[in-house]
Structure 1
Amino acid sequence: MIQNPIIRGFNPDASAIRVGEDYYIATSTFEWFPGVVIHHSKDLVHWRPLTRVLTRESQLNLAGVPSSGGIWAPSLSYDEGSYYLCFTNVVGRKGVFKDLHNYVISAPSIEGPWSEPVYLNSSGFDHFLFHDTDGKKYLFNMQWDFRKGKSRFAGIIMQEFDPDEQKLTGSVKLVTRGTDIGVTEGPMVYKKDGYYYLLVAEGGTGINHAATLLRSRSVEGPYELDPDYPVMTAKGHPEHPLQKAGHGSLIETQNGEWYMVHICSRQLPDGSGLSPLGRETAIQKMAWTEDGWLRLASGGKLPALHVPVPALPLHPFPKEPERDDFDRSELSVHWHTLRTPADPSWLSLTQRPGYLRLWGRESLYSLHRQSMVARRIQSFRCEMETCMEFEPASFNQMAGLVLYYDDQDHYYLRISHDEEIGKHLTVIISDQGQYDERESEPINGWQRIYLKAAIDMDKLRFSFSPDGIKWQTIGPALYTGLLADEYKSKLSFTGAFAGLCAQDLNGTKLQADFDYFIYREYS
Structure 2
Amino acid sequence: MSNAPQKITNPILPGFNPDPSICRVGDDYYIATSTFEWFPGVQIHHSKDLKHWRLVTRPLTRPEQLDMRGNPDSCGIWAPCLTHADGRFWLVYTDVKRKDGSFKDAHNYIVTAPAIEGPWSDPVYANSSGFDPSLFHDDDGRKWFLNMIWDHRAGFNSFTGIALQEYDPVGERLTGPISNIFKGTPLGLTEGPHVYKRDGWYYLLTAEGGTGYDHAVTLARSRQLDGPYELHPDAHVVTSRFDPDNPVQRAGHGDIVETRTGETYMVHLMGRPRLGQNRCQMGREAAIQKCAWDADGWLRLAAGGMAPELEVDGPDLPAHPFPEDPVRHDFDTADLPPVFQWLRTPYPERLFSLTGRPGHLRLYGRESIGSCFEQALVARRQTHYGYEAETLVDFQPDTIQQAAGLIAYYGRCQFYCLAIAGDDDLGRVLTLYSFPGGAPDANMQEPLDAPVRIPESGPVAMKVTVEDMALRFWFRTEGTDWQRIGPAFDATVLADEASGRGAHGNFTGAFVGMLAMDMSGRARPADFDYFSYRNLT
Q: TM-score surpassing 0.5?
A: yes
Q: By how many angstroms is 1:398 displaced? A: 0.4
Equivalent residue for 2:374? 369
Q: By how many angstroms is 1:301 displaced? A: 1.0
Number of equivalenced pairs: 522
In structure 1, C-alpha distance between the alignment counterparts of 2:168 and 2:242, rounded to whole Å: 43
Equivalent residue for 2:3? none
1:450–1:468 contact (8 Å) kept in structure 2:
no
Equivalent residue for 2:266? 260
Residue 387 (structure 1) aligned with residue 399 (structure 2): no
Name which of structure 1's ranges 425-434 and 153-162 shifts more when overlaid on structure 2. 425-434
1:349–1:355 contact (8 Å) kept in structure 2:
yes
Residue by residue over 1:44-79, the C-alpha shift from the partner in whole angstroms, topping out at 9 and shown as x without a partner, is 010111110100111101000010000000000110
In structure 2, C-alpha distance between the alignment counterparts of 1:255 and 1:203, rounded to whole Å: 33
Residue 471 (structure 1) aligned with residue 482 (structure 2): yes
The residue correspondences of 1:47-62 to structure 2 (distance < 5 A) are: 47-62=53-68
DSSP 3-state at the match of 1:319: coil
2:396–2:457 contact (8 Å) kept in structure 1:
no
1:39–1:51 contact (8 Å) kept in structure 2:
yes
Equivalent residue for 2:458? 447
Equivalent residue for 2:354? 349
Q: By how many angstroms is 1:446 displaced? A: 4.3
Equivalent residue for 2:75? 69
1:404–1:410 contact (8 Å) kept in structure 2:
yes
DSSP 3-state at the match of 1:230: strand
Equivalent residue for 2:402? 397
Match of 2:196 among 190, 194, 215: 190
Aligned residue type for 1:236: F
DSSP 3-state at the match of 1:507: coil
The residue correspondences of 1:12-23 to structure 2 (distance < 5 A) are: 12-23=18-29
1:268–1:457 contact (8 Å) kept in structure 2:
no
Residue 513 (structure 1) aligned with residue 524 (structure 2): no
Name which of structure 1's ranges 431-440 and 332-341 shifts more when overlaid on structure 2. 431-440
The residue correspondences of 1:403-414 to structure 2 (distance < 5 A) are: 403-414=408-419
Residue 489 (structure 1) aligned with residue 501 (structure 2): yes
2:239–2:251 contact (8 Å) kept in structure 1:
yes
Aligned residue type for 2:46: H
Name which of structure 1's ranges 40-49 and 328-337 shifts more when overlaid on structure 2. 328-337
Q: By how many angstroms is 1:277 displaced? A: 0.6
In structure 1, C-alpha distance between the alignment counterparts of 2:337 and 2:529, rounded to whole Å: 15
Q: By how many angstroms is 1:320 displaced? A: 1.0
Equivalent residue for 2:209? 203
Equivalent residue for 1:499? 513
1:233–1:302 contact (8 Å) kept in structure 2:
yes
Residue by residue over 1:157-198, the C-alpha shift from the partner in whole angstroms, topping out at 9 and shown as x without a partner, is 100001110000000011110111111100011111111111
CA RMSD in angstroms comes to 1.1
Q: 1:352 to 1:96 in 2, by over 3 A?
A: same
Q: By how many angstroms is 1:92 displaced? A: 1.1
Residue by residue over 1:478-502, the C-alpha shift from the partner in whole angstroms, topping out at 9 and shown as x without a partner, is 0011111011335110001111110
After TM superposition, the score normalised by the length of structure 1 is 0.98
DSSP 3-state at the match of 2:197: strand
Q: By how many angstroms is 1:238 displaced? A: 2.0
Equivalent residue for 2:238? 232
Aligned residue type for 2:496: D
Match of 1:117 among 100, 117, 123: 123
Q: By how many angstroms is 1:371 displaced? A: 0.7
In structure 1, C-alpha distance between the alignment counterparts of 2:155 and 2:521, rounded to whole Å: 48
Equivalent residue for 1:151? 157
In structure 2, C-alpha distance between the alignment counterparts of 1:502 and 1:332, rounded to whole Å: 18
Aligned residue type for 2:52: H
2:427–2:456 contact (8 Å) kept in structure 1:
no
2:134–2:193 contact (8 Å) kept in structure 1:
yes
Match of 1:461 among 438, 454, 472: 472
Match of 1:174 among 180, 184, 191: 180
Equivalent residue for 2:445? 436
In structure 1, C-alpha distance between the alignment counterparts of 2:91 and 2:99, rounded to whole Å: 23
DSSP 3-state at the match of 2:266: strand
Match of 2:278 among 273, 279, 287: 273
Residue by residue over 1:57-113, the C-alpha shift from the partner in whole angstroms, topping out at 9 and shown as x without a partner, is 111010000100000000001102110000000011231100110000100001111
DSSP 3-state at the match of 1:452: strand
Aligned residue type for 2:131: F
Residue by residue over 1:270-327, the C-alpha shift from the partner in whole angstroms, topping out at 9 and shown as x without a partner, is x220011100000000011101001111111110000001000100001111001001
Residue 95 (structure 1) aligned with residue 101 (structure 2): yes
1:201–1:210 contact (8 Å) kept in structure 2:
yes
Q: By how many angstroms is 1:342 displaced? A: 5.1
In structure 2, C-alpha distance between the alignment counterparts of 1:331 and 1:481, rounded to whole Å: 29
After TM superposition, the score normalised by the length of structure 2 is 0.96
In structure 2, C-alpha distance between the alignment counterparts of 1:468 and 1:411, rounded to whole Å: 26
Q: By how many angstroms is 1:145 displaced? A: 0.5
Match of 1:130 among 128, 132, 136: 136
DSSP 3-state at the match of 2:59: strand
Equivalent residue for 1:213? 219
Residue 163 (structure 1) aligned with residue 172 (structure 2): no
In structure 1, C-alpha distance between the alignment counterparts of 2:173 and 2:250, rounded to whole Å: 35
Q: By how many angstroms is 1:343 displaced? A: 3.0
In structure 2, C-alpha distance between the alignment counterparts of 1:190 and 1:405, rounded to whole Å: 36
1:126–1:142 contact (8 Å) kept in structure 2:
yes
Q: 1:328 to 1:465 in 2, by over 3 A?
A: same
Percent of paired sites with the same residue: 52
The gaps in structure 1 that reach 5 residues or longer are none
In structure 2, C-alpha distance between the alignment counterparts of 1:321 and 1:9, rounded to whole Å: 17
Displacement over 4 Å in runs of 4+: none
Equivalent residue for 2:300? 295
Q: By how many angstroms is 1:434 displaced? A: 2.9
Q: By how many angstroms is 1:221 displaced? A: 1.1
DSSP 3-state at the match of 1:464: strand
Residue 5 (structure 1) aligned with residue 11 (structure 2): yes
Q: By how many angstroms is 1:468 displaced? A: 8.7
Aligned residue type for 1:498: V
Q: By how many angstroms is 1:467 displaced? A: 4.2
2:361–2:527 contact (8 Å) kept in structure 1:
yes
Q: By how many angstroms is 1:469 displaced? A: 7.2
Match of 1:322 among 317, 322, 327: 327
Q: By how many angstroms is 1:224 displaced? A: 0.9
In structure 1, C-alpha distance between the alignment counterparts of 2:129 and 2:225, rounded to whole Å: 20
